[in-house]
């Protein structure tokens, strides 16, 4: 039971490059989330998916797209990376019964 | 607008001393409040939720709707409590979550 897994762990991009961050959970949770964590800003919600086939914007969605591929997987795509997107990205899934979120280990992304 | 405010970025206390991490929120309706903790080299994990009204690892937090606060307290701090603590709020739907900026707690031996 791996919980929430994220790939890659680290990534360096050049401005304008694109990439997809992958997230998967094996807890059969309906809801999944993408956050970014920046110094002094805490965690900010980028996008969430309340169930398979649905996605909604969070607090800071600009510059990102998401895909809820199936119940297990929720990916985050940067189409044209910018230095302002340098951050640590966390994926989470939520247990509906308690509203508790389970977090992945994070992806540290640097955009040069 | 900042929905969750944690005024202390850093907090240091001596082992055995009481500790209080402050959290204030701004939200109309009936939000749910949480405390999450991130120990060194570990994932962010739930510490406690206001709805459950339980004590976890000696920590308690009471929701004060009048003062819109959800402060985290522990009467006797332990070294293993050193970590980053985040206060979080979920909206009425349980879908949108807002986190505070976090408080780094250091317990001095």
Q: Check whether B53 has a pLDDT greater than 80.
A: no
* pLDDT (average), residues B66-85: 96
* pLDDT (average), residues A6-17: 96
What pLDDT, in 10s, does the model give residues B12-42? 999 999 999 999 999 887 889 999 999 999 9
Say yes or no for a CB contact (<8 Å) between A48 and B49: no
Say yes or no for a CB contact (<8 Å) between A99 and B100: no
Q: Residue B85: pLDDT band by 50, 70, 90 thresholds?
A: very high
Per the prediction, chain A carries an average pLDDT of 95
A8 class by beta-carbon count within 10 Å (0-12 exposed, 13-18 middle, 19+ buried): exposed
Nearest Cβ partner of A41 from B34, B88, B101? B101
Percent of chain A clearing pLDDT 70 (strictly above): 100
- Alpha-helical regions (H) of A45-91: none
CA atoms within 13 A of residue B73's CA, in its CB half-sphere: 12
Interface probe for B, chosen from A29, A42, A101 (most Cβ of B below 10 Å), is A42
Q: Residue A95: pLDDT band by 50, 70, 90 thresholds?
A: very high
Q: Residue B2: pLDDT band by 50, 70, 90 thresholds?
A: low
Interface of chain A against chain B, CB under 8 Å? Answer: 31, 33, 35, 40-45, 48, 50, 56, 58-59, 90, 92, 94, 96, 98-106
Contacts of B102 in chain A (CB under 8 A): 42
Per the prediction, chain B carries an average pLDDT of 92
pLDDT at A26: 95
Say yes or no for a CB contact (<8 Å) between A103 and B44: yes
* pLDDT (average), residues A19-44: 95
- Contact criterion met (CB below 8 Å) for B60 and B50: no
Q: Residue A1: pLDDT band by 50, 70, 90 thresholds?
A: confident
Range from A46-60, B54-68, B72-86 carrying the lowest mean pLDDT: B54-68
Higher pLDDT, B14 or A1: B14
* pLDDT (average), residues A82-93: 97
pLDDT at A48: 96
pLDDT at B80: 96
Q: Does B43 touch chain A (CB under 8 A)?
A: yes
């Amino acid at each position: 039971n791996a919980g929430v897994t994220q790939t890659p762990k680290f990534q360096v991009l050049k401005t304008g490059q694109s990439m997809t961050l992958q997230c998967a959970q094996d807890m059969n949770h309906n809801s999944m989330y993408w956050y970014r964590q920046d110094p002094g800003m805490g965690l900010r919600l980028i996008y969430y998916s309340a169930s398979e086939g649905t996605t909604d914007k969070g607090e800071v969605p600009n510059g990102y797209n998401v895909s809820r591929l199936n119940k297990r997987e929720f990916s985050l795509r940067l189409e044209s990376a910018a230095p302002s997107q340098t951050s640590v990205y966390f994926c989470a899934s939520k247990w509906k019964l308690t509203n508790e979120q389970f977090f992945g280990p994070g992806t540290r992304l640097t955009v040069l | 607008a900042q929905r969750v405010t944690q005024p202390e970025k850093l907090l240091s206390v001596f082992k055995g001393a009481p500790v209080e991490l402050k959290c204030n929120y701004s939200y109309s309706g009936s939000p749910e409040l949480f405390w999450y903790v991130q120990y060194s080299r570990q994932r962010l994990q739930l510490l406690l939720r206001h709805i459950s009204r339980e004590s976890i690892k000696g920590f308690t937090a009471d929701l004060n709707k009048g003062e819109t606060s959800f402060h985290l307290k522990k009467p006797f701090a332990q070294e293993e409590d050193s970590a980053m603590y985040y206060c979080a709020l979920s909206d009425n739907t349980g879908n949108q979550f807002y986190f505070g900026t976090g408080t780094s707690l250091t317990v001095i031996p």
